[in-house]
Amino acid sequence: MYDELFFVFFLTLVLIWVIRSKAAVWGLIDIPNTRSMHNIFTARGAGIAFYLSVMLSVSIFHFELITHYFWTVLGISLVFMVGLLDDHHDTAPKSKFIVLAVATIFLSFDGLVIDDIGLFFGIHLHLLWFAIPFTIFAVSGFTNALNLIDGLDGLATMISLVILLGFFTLGYRYEDSFMMVFSSTFAVTLCAFLFYNWHPASIFMGDSGSLTLGFVISILAIKSLDYIPAVGILFLAAVPILDTVVVMIHRKRKGSSIFAADKCHMHHILKRFLKENTVATVFLLSFLQLIYTLFALQFAKKIDEGILLILFFVNMVVFYNFLDLLRKKQKKECL
C-alpha cells in the first residue's frame, strides 16, 4: 500500500504544478469578489489532480474495486465533471443538484443507500421507499456543505483530511478495503495539495475538488453505516454540517434566503475574532473537527443513538449562540 500512496502523493504534486502553470490558458482562474477572502487572481482546479491521481492509482493497484463499484466510480466522475465545468465557467446550482441526484442514484446500484437511520428511544427508523430521496438529500447537503467551507486557504483541505482519516480508521478496524483505499488515497492527495494550498495559497481546489471530496466523503459515510450508527456520522463529519445548519438558521432569522451568499460562516466570524489570522482559524476548526471525529470513533457504538442525537442538537445550539455572540461583539452584519 505504501507504493500506491507514494505514487498518489508525487503524481498529485506534479499534476497540481502543471495545472497551476497552465491555469490562465485553461481559464481556471479565481477572480476575487466582495465575498472572497483573497484579493489577488489565483489559479483553481486542483481537483483535477485529486481525481486523476486517485482514479489512476486505484485502476493500477486495486482494479477489482473499479469493477465491483462501477456505478460508484461513475458517480464520482459525474460530480467531478460538473465541478470542473463550474471551475471553468459558473454552472447553475440547479444543474449541479441534478448531477448530484443522478450520481447518488448511481450509488444505489452498488447498494450504497441510506435505508435505516437508527433506533431512537425504541423506534427503529427504516426509510423504505423514502431511502433514495433521503440519500439524495443527505449526499447533496453534505457535498454542498463542504463546498461552502472552502473559503480559507487550507480549511476545506484540513477538515477533509481529518474526516478521511476517521473513515480510514473505520475501514482499517473492520477490514473494509473500499473505505481504506479511497479514504487513504484522497487523504494523501490532500497532503500533497497542502504544499500549494497553505496560506498564502498559490492554487485553490475549486469546485472540481470540493464537490468531488464532498461526494466521496458522503460515499464513505454511507459505507460506514455498516459499522457505526447514522447519528455517529454527524459527529465524524461535524464541522461542515454544523456550519451549514447554523448559517441557514441565522439567515432565516434575519429574513434572508437560506441560500443567500454572505460572510456569516464560522470561518468568517472566527477569522475576524482572531484578528484576521487565517492559519490560526484553520488550525482551530481542524482541531475542533478532530475532537468530533475522535469522539465518533470512540463512542458512536457505546452511547445510545437517541442520546447521541440530543448531544448533537445541544452542540448545534451552543455553536449558534457562540457565533451569534461573536457577531454582536464584532458589530458586523454578515454581508
Q: pLDDT digits over 39-61, tens only?
A: 678 899 999 999 999 999 999 99
Specify the pTM: 0.94
- Would you tell me how many other CB atoms lie within 10 Å of the CB of residue 298? 10
Quick one: which of 152, 156, 5, 143 has its CA closest to 76? 143
Cβ atoms of residues 49 and 16 within 8 Å:
yes
Residues in the chain: 335
DSSP state of 118: E
Tell me how far apart the alpha carbons of residues 46 and 18 are, in angstroms, rounded to a whole number: 10
* pLDDT value of position 133: 96
The residues, any chain, with a CB within 8 Å of residue 151's CB and separated by 6 or more, are: 37, 265, 267, 268
Residues facing residue 124 across a β-bridge = 119
Sign of torsion over alpha carbons 187, 188, 193, 197? positive
Neighbours of 296 (CB within 10 A): 26
Instruction: Give pLDDT, residue 277.
Output: 92
Which residue carries 448533537 as its cell? 312
Task: Enumerate the domain spans of the chain.
Answer: 2-330
Q: Angle at Cα 270 formed by Cα 267 and Cα 274, nearest 5°?
A: 130
Q: Looking at residue 37, what is its pLDDT? A: 57
Note the pLDDT of residue 258.
75
Strands 123-126 and 116-120: antiparallel
Report residue 310: phi and psi, to 5°.
Answer: -60, -45
DSSP string covering 45-96, please?
-THHHHHHHHHHHHHHH-HHHHHHTHHHHHHHHHHHHHHHHHHHS---HHHH
How confident is the chain (335 residues) per 10-residue block, as mean pLDDT? 91 97 90 64 93 97 96 98 92 92 98 88 81 96 93 94 98 97 98 95 94 98 96 96 91 77 84 90 97 96 92 94 85 59
Distance separating alpha carbons of residues 281 and 160, to the nearest angstrom: 15
Q: Distance between CA atoms of 311 and 291, rounded to whole angstroms?
A: 14
| pLDDT for residue 327 | 82
Q: What is the pLDDT of residue 128?
A: 85
Residue 256's CB: how many other CB atoms inside 10 A? 15
